[in-house]
Amino acid sequence: MRHDVPSGTQPSMYSVIDKLRTTRVLYTERLIAENIVTEDEVDAMINKNRQDLGDSCYTAKNLDFEPRLDLFVGWKLYFGIKWADDSNISYPLIQVQEIAKKLTTISDEIVMQRQIQKIYQDRDKMTERSLTLNWVYMLRYWHLLHC
């Protein structure tokens, strides 16, 4: 399933974000400046964390492995209950395609960025059924148009 890429829809914002130092770098610099840790200690922590992740070890050291029985829920109360009425939620394909075409029709006066143009082309292919339909995308917009 294809998801919209935030950097494709907000290129100016992400070009600024990409130039910023990461939270880890900022925090590391502060800890070193305050003589709480050394750069070697930070490097060792990063390497240890990466090794733990690679070895599928827990990286959160304060996990509680004992179950809290006071938090258990008795689910038997909910067994055998009918949660929803039977209903027909089908929608005619031709109408879904008409809605999709409306959503992907852009004025010729608008010049789209290459990545955005590709997203719209993919959505057109979904409408034509030559590309697997992203139902989340379609239903989300169908809902907006029909509410």
- Per residue of the chain (147 residues), give pLDDT as tens: 445 677 777 888 888 988 999 999 999 999 999 999 999 999 999 999 999 888 888 777 777 778 788 888 888 888 888 877 787 777 788 887 888 888 888 888 988 888 888 888 888 888 888 887 776 666 676 677 676
Q: Which of 135, 59, 45 is CA-nearest to residue 90?
A: 135
**Is 38 buried (19+), middle (13-18) or exposed (0-12) by CB count in 10 A?**
exposed
Inside any domain, residue 77? no
Q: Which of 141, 89, 122, 143 is CA-nearest to residue 3?
A: 122
Amino acid (1-letter code) at residue 3: H
Look at residue 23 in the predicted model and tell me its pLDDT: 94
Number of structural domains found in the chain? 2
Inside any domain, residue 76? no
For the question of whether the overall pTM of this predicted structure is more than 0.75, the answer is no
CA angle 11, 17, 18 (to 5 degrees): 85
Inside any domain, residue 79? no
Look at residue 1 in the predicted model and tell me its pLDDT: 44
- The answer on 97 and 55 residing in a single domain is no
How many beta carbons lie within 10 A of that of residue 147, not counting itself?
5
Look at residue 19 in the predicted model and tell me its pLDDT: 93
- The answer on 44 and 8 residing in a single domain is yes
Domain of 26, in residue numbers:
1-61
Distances in Å between the Cα of 30 and the Cα atoms of 18, 27, 33, 89 are 21, 5, 5, 56
- The answer on 142 and 95 residing in a single domain is yes
- The answer on 52 and 15 residing in a single domain is yes
- The answer on 54 and 98 residing in a single domain is no
Residue 97 DSSP class? H
Look at residue 138 in the predicted model and tell me its pLDDT: 67
Inside any domain, residue 73? no
- The answer on 94 and 44 residing in a single domain is no
Question: What is the DSSP annotation of 104-119?
Answer: H---TTPPPPHHHHHH
Look at residue 14 in the predicted model and tell me its pLDDT: 87
